[in-house]
Amino acid sequence: MHPPFTPLPLYSLTPLLPYPSTPMGTLYITQDNAFIGKIDERLQVRANKQTLLDVPMIKVDGVVVLGRATISPAALIELLERKIPLSFLTGTGRFLGRLEPPLTKNIFVRSAQWRAIGESPQALHVVRGFIRGKLKNYRHTLMRVQRETTDQNSESLSKLVQGITRLEQAIHPINTTDKIESLRGLEGAGSAAYFGCFQQLIRAEEFSFTTRQRRPPTDPINSLLSFGYSLLRHDIESAINIVGFDPYLGYLHTERYGRPSLALDVMEEFRPLVVDAVVLAAINRRSLTPADFTVEPLSQAVSLSDEGRRTFLRLYEQKKQSRFKHPVMGKQCTYQEAFEIQSRLLAKYLMGETEQYPPLVLK
């Protein structure tokens, strides 16, 4: 029987930008009716009179509860004092809410963020960056699969070529487009091109993908994508809070009550790099099979089984801790660190300390 949580990875943070030096990780709690408590300087999770987890608080940088769990007042206070965010999701990954300490005292970051609101040159620049990063990472994903396709006359290869061409057509006018609404149109066209040939990225015959379906996801691939994006939102929102941003004021995503628009903005370039990569690896390497999914009879919504969810959480956490050379910093970092790096680069640009915001683009 697998434990109902993902073990915390221990890793050292590379001092590319101001970072805390403590090894950290995200704790995912999937056991319904679990109790989260605090014993001295440790976080403890219990269920059915058994201790499921006992870990030093210093090793935790985030807690995500999927389903139903109870948390003690002492544990809540400790999380707040240590500035550790606590997110609540349904068992299928739908975001419910979040508890976190007040915004950081860095009013200068938020002041610069608010000054750039609307159709300002700064807002236009960062929206171009978010979209360029996302669409270029989409293109590189398709091009990598194109290079690996051996049958040069296959229908699959033809669709990949068409998707890459459509992505390039969406990328080309980004720098000369001077309206944010028009840039949103380019983002939509590029995303449609990418997901239009997403099926060509899937090698497992048991799975298929037709179109992006969010509410509710009605097939396993859409279920995984939606679940992964919910996890990514938790991580990105944590990073931008650390830097000092107001997560609800964005530039690409319009303002809407209760929506962390800036977190969704910063997420864009990471979607293909983290979540899509985990989904494709889980399916293509048979880490997940059709048996790991369930269908809700009335809505036909598809979701992961308890075992499948634990597998996906483990793969997602492993991906976050995998290392790569950051193209701007020129040093090795993890994706977990990159969330904060990109947030700090965005802050530096908005505060006038750098001339541009460089999106994270990896080949």
Please write the tens of the pLDDT for every residue from 188-204.
Answer: 999 999 999 999 999 98
pLDDT tens readout for residues 13-40: 222 333 333 345 778 888 878 888 888 8
> H or E stretch including 157?
helix 155-171
User: Is the Cβ–Cβ distance between 292 and 204 less than 8 Å?
Assistant: no
Average pLDDT of 106-132?
A: 92
- pLDDT (0 to 100) of residue 83: 80
Average pLDDT of 105-126?
A: 90
- pLDDT (0 to 100) of residue 280: 96
Residue 4 has pLDDT above 70, yes or no: no
CATH architecture of the region 1-102: Ribosomal Protein L15; Chain: K; domain 2 (3.100)
Amino acid at 21: S
Q: Which residue has the higher pLDDT, 8 or 96?
A: 96
Average pLDDT of 175-192?
A: 95
- pLDDT (0 to 100) of residue 103: 63
Question: According to CATH, where is 1.20.120.920 located in the chain?
Answer: 107-350
Average pLDDT of 205-229?
A: 89
- pLDDT (0 to 100) of residue 160: 92
Prior bond to 260 cis, omega within 30? no
Query: Is domain 107-350 given the CATH code 1.20.120.920 in the classification?
Result: yes
How many other CB atoms are there within 10 angstroms of residue 358's CB atom?
Answer: 17
Percent of the chain with pLDDT over 70: 90
Average pLDDT of 54-62?
A: 84
What's the token pair of residue 313? 């959480």
* Buried b or exposed e, range 170-194, using 16+ CB within 10 angstroms: bbeebeebeebeebbebbeebbebb
pLDDT tens readout for residues 243-301: 889 888 999 998 776 678 999 999 999 999 999 999 999 999 999 999 999 888 777 78
Question: Rounded to an integer, what distance in angstroms lies between the CA atom of residue 17 and that of residue 263?
Answer: 20
pLDDT tens readout for residues 139-157: 999 999 988 877 666 888 8
- Tokens 């497992």, residue located: 204
Question: According to CATH, where is 3.100.10.20 located in the chain?
Answer: 1-102
**pTM of the predicted model as reported, rounded to 2 decimal places:** 0.80
- pLDDT (0 to 100) of residue 153: 62
Residue 7 has pLDDT above 50, yes or no: no
pLDDT tens readout for residues 301-315: 888 888 898 899 999
